[in-house]
């Protein structure tokens, strides 16, 4: 079964009345998707803003059955006259029919359809009839470079101060050892029994301070390894199933995180967001393309995974012939929100014309 998606691309002003699709002059009439493409990169070749896909998909729902994926070999047709786009090489009618009955087809995928039809009067002859097989493809083109953010998807990135007050903590080890590593047994105080057996070990790192209010929103969590529960008790017993750094008494445990869904699509937040860059991951002073940054807004402010925000440099004062001019804020890039917490979000810098710095503005495009 082939799934097809429209490109994540469109130049759209914020006002709905000004919506317009703008195809670049050098864009071809047809483009064949190749291995290694991402939707973001393809869209950026043909449109100014490579992320506002819902408006295009809304115009092509008759042709685009599943707005999640495109595949190598799909033909993208750009219709300049209609100022819309659609995907060529749609599935044949029988494939669509198979898609609607996928559960039933999947159940009988390995079983031939048999009909007892007499041939030349022989009632013992069995005739086999052809059937449609439903196959899933695994070569879909992703929205963003997934490998870059993969390490950030299932590890604790941020811990809030309130969590640290009640977090499970390693209080001891076999033979009272100070340094723990893979295969060692540890004892944990305050481990809840209703959150599963798989936990991650972390240590609070860099303090994340809101550049606007000066409040501490949380701490970056330094990932140390994984632990599996052997026995729950007032002081529980765990075994270290993975260690990437040294583990000591006083290190904390947090429930294992869930990975990012594979079919998220970049989109604009439904609310107006005005945020600031708090930090560049890794303690760097500046960030470039495909760097990871934190901003001081989270899901409590209306942000969600997949939202795209624009980067702005603050307005400056220019002096000319004795007069002062306040220059407008400069938009210089886009970021993609891939993980959110209550008051903090992690974003991937998708494209920039200038280095990203702490305290730069991040807003709804």
The domain segmentation of the chain, as residue ranges, is: 1-104, 151-255, 274-363
Q: What is the pLDDT of residue 317?
A: 79
Helices (H), 60-136: 93-100, 102-107
Gap between the Cα atoms of 13 and 267, Å rounded: 14
Gap between the Cα atoms of 365 and 356, Å rounded: 17
Helix (H) or strand (E) run with residue 243 in it: strand 235-243
Q: Report the Cα 32 to chain-centroid distance in Å.
A: 25
pTM, two decimals, is 0.61
The answer to whether 345 and 302 are in contact (CB under 8 A) is no
- Pairing relationship of beta strands 274-280 and 292-295 according to DSSP bridges: antiparallel
Q: What CATH number should be reported for the domain whose range is 274-363?
A: 2.40.10.410
pLDDT in tens, 161-211: 778 888 999 999 988 888 999 999 999 999 999 988 999 999 998 888 898
pLDDT range class, residue 21, cuts 50, 70, 90: low
pLDDT range class, residue 10, cuts 50, 70, 90: very low
Give strand pairing partners of 202. 223, 252
Between 291 and 187, residue with greater pLDDT: 187
The answer to whether 343 and 217 are in contact (CB under 8 A) is yes
Q: Tell me the DSSP string of 141-156.
A: BPSS-HHHHHHHHSS-
Question: Hey, what's the torsion of the CAs at 148, 153, 159, 163, to 10 degrees?
Answer: 180
SS3 288: coil
């Amino acid at each position: 079964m082939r799934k097809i998606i429209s490109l994540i691309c469109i130049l759209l002003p914020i006002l709905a009345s000004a919506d317009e699709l703008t195809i670049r002059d050098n864009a071809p009439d047809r483009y064949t998707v190749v291995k290694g493409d991402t939707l973001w990169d393809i869209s950026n070749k043909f449109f100014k803003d490579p992320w506002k896909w819902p408006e295009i998909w809304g115009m092509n729902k008759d042709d685009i059955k599943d707005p999640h994926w495109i595949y190598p070999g799909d033909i993208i047709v750009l219709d300049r006259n209609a100022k819309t786009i659609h995907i060529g090489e749609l599935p044949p009618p029988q494939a669509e029919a198979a898609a609607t009955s996928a559960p039933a087809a999947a159940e009988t995928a390995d079983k031939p359809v048999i009909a007892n039809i007499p041939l030349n009067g022989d009632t013992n002859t069995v005739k086999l009839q052809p059937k449609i097989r439903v196959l899933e493809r695994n070569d879909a083109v992703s929205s963003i470079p997934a490998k870059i953010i993969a390490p950030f998807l299932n590890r604790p990135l941020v811990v809030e101060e309130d969590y640290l007050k009640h977090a499970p903590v390693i209080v001891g080890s076999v033979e009272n050892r100070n340094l723990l590593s893979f295969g060692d047994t540890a004892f944990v105080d305050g481990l809840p029994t209703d959150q599963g057996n798989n936990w991650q070990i972390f240590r609070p790192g860099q303090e994340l301070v809101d550049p606007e209010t000066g409040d501490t929103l949380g701490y970056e969590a330094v990932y140390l390894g994984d632990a599996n529960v052997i026995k729950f008790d007032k002081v529980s017993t765990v075994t270290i199933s993975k260690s990437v750094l040294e583990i000591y008494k006083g290190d904390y445990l947090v429930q294992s995180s869930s990975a990012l869904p594979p079919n998220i699509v970049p989109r604009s937040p439904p609310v107006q967001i005005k945020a600031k860059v708090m930090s560049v991951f890794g303690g760097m002073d500046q960030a470039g393309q495909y760097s990871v940054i934190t901003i001081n807004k989270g899901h409590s402010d209306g942000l969600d995974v997949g939202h795209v925000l624009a980067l702005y440099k603050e307005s400056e004062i220019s002096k000319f012939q004795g007069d002062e001019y306040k220059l407008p804020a400069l938009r210089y890039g886009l970021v993609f929100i891939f993980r959110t917490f209550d008051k903090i979000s992690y974003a991937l810098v998708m494209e920039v014309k200038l280095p990203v710095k702490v305290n730069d503005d991040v807003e709804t495009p």
